[in-house]
Structure 1
Amino acid sequence: FYFQDDLDLLLDSPSSLTVNSTVHGTVKEKPGFNAGEDAAALRKAIEGIGTTEKTLIDILTQRSNAQRQLICKAYQDATGRTLCDDLEGDTHGHFEDILVALVTPPAKFDCQEFIRAIKGAGTNESILIELFASRSNHQIKAMCDAYLAETGRALIHDLKSEVSGDFEKTLLILAEGKRVESTNVDVAKAKEDAKILYEAGEKKWGTDESKFIDILCHRSVPQLRQTLVEYKSLSGKTLQESIEREMSGRLEDILVAIVKCVKSVPAYLAERLYKSMKGAGTTESTLTRIIVSRSEVDLQEIKAEYKKLFGTSLYSDIEVRSSSRQHLAGAS
């Protein structure tokens, strides 16, 4: 998979987990933005006979989330109603889901996805894995704050009652958002960690999962990238291959997701998008969550990785399914 033979290239490439930037998003601030005008146009589109979907799509996909929050305020000031409620009352299905997602602040949106993953019978572990493996410390903290504001409870407390075992242990460490953020790389430490991982897995009868959990959840991204390089030269296998051989179930899934995100969050999310569209029936919620939540973070890079990995464009694969998501993905 991604950079399997070119691990060294990783050491100098930027990571979505550490770089807080909107350079690689597809959605930018609109110049000459006027919240009042946009709110009036949306109101007209919603209150007219039959909703004018094109207006909703054009405005909500071509403003940054910060601008959309100003539109929401202007809309509420003018009508006494929330834009979110009116969109829910006036649109339906997946179109409604994506418009509501667009007018929700990013941390609150992540928080709502977390709630969706844990509510009802059974937990949707794949959403939990995606949320905690692909988000930076800053994003995880913002999600926890939003959860506390929304429910009055600590996210970690509720997470505990949903999951168990080593999978729980891994998620809880990630949910603390305490991954080291230093950009310094200690090569000797990386060699030592690689040796610890090798001895805890491939070299041992039975696997010491706790060593994998500790190292993969706590070390900084640059440090882990160096560790991946050292591990390959020590064992002849990639760390991902070793995890897939030594572990199973949800623990394997989350540790592999962490390794993929350490290498490239965009490549990991491109793969999630591909699977959500290529399985039996599109997983619409996965499509909406990734496209909306990454539209101002790294969606350009996700598109590039998607093309590199699957040979087709993300834009054209979405085109068959949804015009509103397509607008966010941008044709370029």
Structure 2
Amino acid sequence: MADACTRLQDHNRKLKAIIATNDAQAVNAAMNSGFLGWGTDNNKLITVLCSRTKSQLQRVAKRYREMYDKDIRDEVKGETGGNYGKMMYYAMSSKTEYVIDMLDFACGGFFNNYMALIELFVMCGQGWLKEGKVAWEGRKDKSLIDYINSELGSGYSGLARLLMLLLKGDREPEDAEPDDAKILEQVEKLYVETQKGFFSTADELVFVETIGVNNQKQNARLAEMYENKYSESLRMGIGDKMSDKLGACLKALLLKRDDFVASRLKDAVDGWGTNKGQLLRLLGGLDDVNMVGVLEAYEKKYGLPLASTLKQEIGGNFSKATIAWITVLNDPTGGAEAITEQSVEALTGSSALCSMCDMLLLENEMLLRFAAALDVEALAEAVNGMGTDDTAFIRTITTRSKRFLGRVSDVYREAHSEEGEDMTLSALVDKNIGDWYAYLAKFLVLQPSQSDSLLLDLALEEGVSNDDPSARNDDKAALIEFLCARHPRRVRVAKKAWEKRNDESLVDKLADSLHGDLREIALTMLKGKRDSFEEVDEEDADMALAKEQAAYLQADMGKAIEVLCSNSPAQNAAIGRMYEETYDMSLGRALGNVYSGDVQDALTSLLLEPAQWYASRLKKAFKAEGGVSNEVICRIIGAHDKAEIKAIALAYDDKYGTRLKTDVAEACDGNYKRLAEAWIDLPDQMAQPEDLLKLPKKDLTA
């Protein structure tokens, strides 16, 4: 179980890297979207950056640096401006960057903004503050404690003392539960101080060392018990017993963090004008988990959703970015990352490992769906406007496996289907591109059972003309490709899919459409019961049986259908070898002496390992009489997934001493060529997300 968790954790991290790569590319495109690359697509920029969690944005920032050698925050800030730009800048900050930014803002001007410091110290948990302190000191090469003391000066001595206590982390652990007996003692001590009047001064240190040392839960209990005993809130008791600055911080620490942030947001929109700086500082520091709590607290306290308030107070891109940040926040992991990024080695017991595995599986599903949604956005954008962005279209299609494209098609269907129009990826292809480019693309986006069903339609009803995909002629070669070189399991699945779609028996259809030996081959192969199909190497064959079967065929070549249609490719290859060694003739030639045409082609295909046979079919298609057989090229390349086309390409290179991609480039042209080359050459990015993918250059001569 631990091994399974570790491997799945690693795979999920790769998926997160894929999403980060897509987002980095989208941000770069948004900032270079105008004429000649000048101008910014603000809607796209907001969609990407303001609808992600901070953890995801950190991956995007890292990927952006790797890809473009630039800091994404600085780049976005340079392309945007005003409060909109500042909001984007803070939203993209990591937790430690946010601490650094807020400290610079609060202490960097002519006048210190003590409320900004209070907001920072109250919003951030102890761990967050500690990490921020280390990061600030590493960047500035000085002590943060010395810096704050020097910046605040004597007029802020009480506040400085409290902030130093918070900064040092000399507090109760955040998960420590309140001890009512201890809290009651604190109530009594604080009450004594709150009752001091004109002739005696309250001891600020008592408040600092009580409220400042307690954690959030303990302070909440302290406020509750104080009020219950003395019928007055502790906030009221603090009143004017000390400086406004220290009092404000102490009162803030008595609130739940969510309630405090909500109150500061309300303060920003109250009065004669909206304090936009205060809004963007507070909101920019919140991640998805904290944001949910703040939104709930705001609506509960003030009876109005924060988004509704903001729509009334701000406008333009600042409004769009802010509202997107607080309402969308798409977490690619579905909220599971808080658990799934824990160390597997630190987990003990089968129960903990099982729980981790469950969360990793949930996270994996959420990541896959999120990545599919990004592909849907990319495809929709590629076909939006004047013409199709073929580079974006090809890149999206050819860097995914067929299985994942099936997921993309499902999401596309959900997002873009309208009444009377069922928009799958296949429908998208039909609507936006044409000719052999579209014919190949359609095969690529179809699932194996769907593409095989299409092959059956071509063979049993009408095929496609080599000159024009819209013209038709009969084609039994497609039937041979499907029945004789596919895995038996795939044949059975395709049979079921075809029958479901056509509401008739495929066995009956073949029996009615075919005759003689070809019908016998088709009906035998359709059963999908070949022996040990996974055995593709001749070394895996039973050589003694192969010798017997070779002799059996020599005695009666009419038994070839019975023998070859039942064997695995490895066993048939062994028969061919034994036949040639024993009778000084290839089995292929011997079959040609008895059979011809489609029957001979079908039986000959059974003698070869599938990748070898498909390689030979492609070679013939490149040099077909009357010109290149584009139909064969499309259906062989388009019907095979990434691993399968890789095997075919290797077999082609091995047989003919030239790369399949090279011959495709010579035989095809335009976007049709680019699509075929990319499918053959580019890996499945879902399996290798760290690789930068380079598409074939656009054919400007086509």
The TM-score bracket by the shorter chain reads 0.7 to 0.9
Match of 1:38 among 362, 372, 375: 375
Tell me by how many angstroms 1:310 deviates: 2.8
**What's the counterpart of residue 74 of structure 2?**
none
Tell me by how many angstroms 1:331 deviates: 7.0
**What's the counterpart of residue 61 of structure 1?**
398
Post-superposition CA distance 1:68-95 (Å, at most 9, x none): 1121122122222333223211111111
Tell me by how many angstroms 1:323 deviates: 0.9
What is the correspondence of 1:159-308 to structure 2 with a 5 Å cutoff?
159-181=510-532, 185-201=541-557, 209=558, 211-260=559-608, 264-279=609-624, 280-308=626-654
**Residue type matched to 1:329 in 2?**
I
Post-superposition CA distance 1:198-245 (Å, at most 9, x none): 1114xxxxxxx2x11100011233433332333223212221121123
Percent of aligned pairs with the same amino acid: 23
**Mean Cα displacement is larger for which, 188-197 or 315-324?**
188-197
Match of 1:70 among 397, 401, 407: 407
Q: C-alpha distance in 2, partners of 1:256/1:185?
A: 18
**Residue type matched to 2:581 in 1?**
S
Tell me by how many angstroms 1:152 deviates: 1.2
**Residue type matched to 2:567 in 1?**
R
Cα distance change, pair 49–175 in 1 and its aligned pair in 2 (3 A): same
Does the 8 Å contact 2:642/2:679 carry over to 1? Answer: no
Q: C-alpha distance in 2, partners of 1:231/1:85?
A: 50
**Residue type matched to 1:161 in 2?**
D
**Mean Cα displacement is larger for which, 117-126 or 96-105?**
117-126
Q: Any unmatched runs of 5+ in structure 1?
A: 1-28, 202-208
Post-superposition CA distance 1:232-288 (Å, at most 9, x none): 23212221121123332322221112113xxx2222111111111212322212111
Tell me by how many angstroms 1:158 deviates: 0.8
Q: Does 1:312 align with 2:658?
A: yes
Does the 8 Å contact 1:174/1:217 carry over to 2? Answer: yes
Cα distance change, pair 327–245 in 1 and its aligned pair in 2 (3 A): same
SS at match of 2:639: helix
**What's the counterpart of residue 325 of structure 2?**
none
Q: C-alpha distance in 2, partners of 1:319/1:188?
A: 44
What is the correspondence of 1:2-41 to structure 2 with a 5 Å cutoff?
31-32=18-19, 34-41=371-378
Q: Runs ≥4 in structure 1, deviation > 6 angstroms? A: none
**What's the counterpart of residue 492 of structure 2?**
141
Tell me by how many angstroms 1:196 deviates: 1.0
**What's the counterpart of residue 385 of structure 2?**
48
Q: C-alpha distance in 2, partners of 1:248/1:99?
A: 34
**Mean Cα displacement is larger for which, 275-284 or 216-225?**
216-225
Does the 8 Å contact 2:399/2:682 carry over to 1? Answer: no
Q: C-alpha distance in 2, partners of 1:65/1:228?
A: 34
**Mean Cα displacement is larger for which, 226-235 or 214-223?**
226-235
SS at match of 2:642: coil
Tell me by how many angstroms 1:298 deviates: 2.5
Post-superposition CA distance 1:106-152 (Å, at most 9, x none): 11111111101211486411111121111111111111011012101
Higher relative contact order (CA 8 A, sep 6+): 1
Cα distance change, pair 156–31 in 1 and its aligned pair in 2 (3 A): farther
Cα distance change, pair 109–178 in 1 and its aligned pair in 2 (3 A): same
Q: C-alpha distance in 1, partners of 2:623/2:658?
A: 12
Cα distance change, pair 57–126 in 1 and its aligned pair in 2 (3 A): same
Normalising by structure 1, we get a TM-score of 0.81
**Mean Cα displacement is larger for which, 115-124 or 211-220?**
115-124
Q: Any unmatched runs of 5+ in structure 2?
A: 1-14, 20-367, 418-422, 463-471, 684-702
**What's the counterpart of residue 9 of structure 1?**
none
**Residue type matched to 1:287 in 2?**
I
Bigger Rg, which one: 2
Cα distance change, pair 31–145 in 1 and its aligned pair in 2 (3 A): farther
**What's the counterpart of residue 15 of structure 1?**
none
Cα distance change, pair 89–331 in 1 and its aligned pair in 2 (3 A): closer
Does the 8 Å contact 2:379/2:392 carry over to 1? Answer: yes
Q: Does 1:90 align with 2:438?
A: no
Does the 8 Å contact 2:642/2:680 carry over to 1? Answer: no
Q: C-alpha distance in 2, partners of 1:36/1:331?
A: 21
**Residue type matched to 1:286 in 2?**
V
Does the 8 Å contact 2:542/2:571 carry over to 1? Answer: yes
**Residue type matched to 1:195 in 2?**
A
Cα distance change, pair 167–37 in 1 and its aligned pair in 2 (3 A): same
Cα distance change, pair 187–312 in 1 and its aligned pair in 2 (3 A): closer
Post-superposition CA distance 1:24-75 (Å, at most 9, x none): xxxxx99546111110111111122211111110000101112111211221
**Residue type matched to 2:554 in 1?**
Y
Does the 8 Å contact 1:315/1:331 carry over to 2? Answer: no
Tell me by how many angstroms 1:186 deviates: 4.3
Cα distance change, pair 86–300 in 1 and its aligned pair in 2 (3 A): closer
Q: C-alpha distance in 2, partners of 1:65/1:274?
A: 24
Cα distance change, pair 331–46 in 1 and its aligned pair in 2 (3 A): closer
Q: C-alpha distance in 2, partners of 1:228/1:79?
A: 53
Q: C-alpha distance in 2, partners of 1:230/1:88?
A: 49
**Mean Cα displacement is larger for which, 153-162 or 134-143?**
153-162
Q: C-alpha distance in 2, partners of 1:163/1:123?
A: 12
**Residue type matched to 1:272 in 2?**
R
Cα distance change, pair 234–107 in 1 and its aligned pair in 2 (3 A): same
Does the 8 Å contact 1:69/1:105 carry over to 2? Answer: yes
Q: Does 1:153 align with 2:504?
A: yes
Q: C-alpha distance in 2, partners of 1:185/1:273?
A: 27
Q: Does 1:323 align with 2:682?
A: no
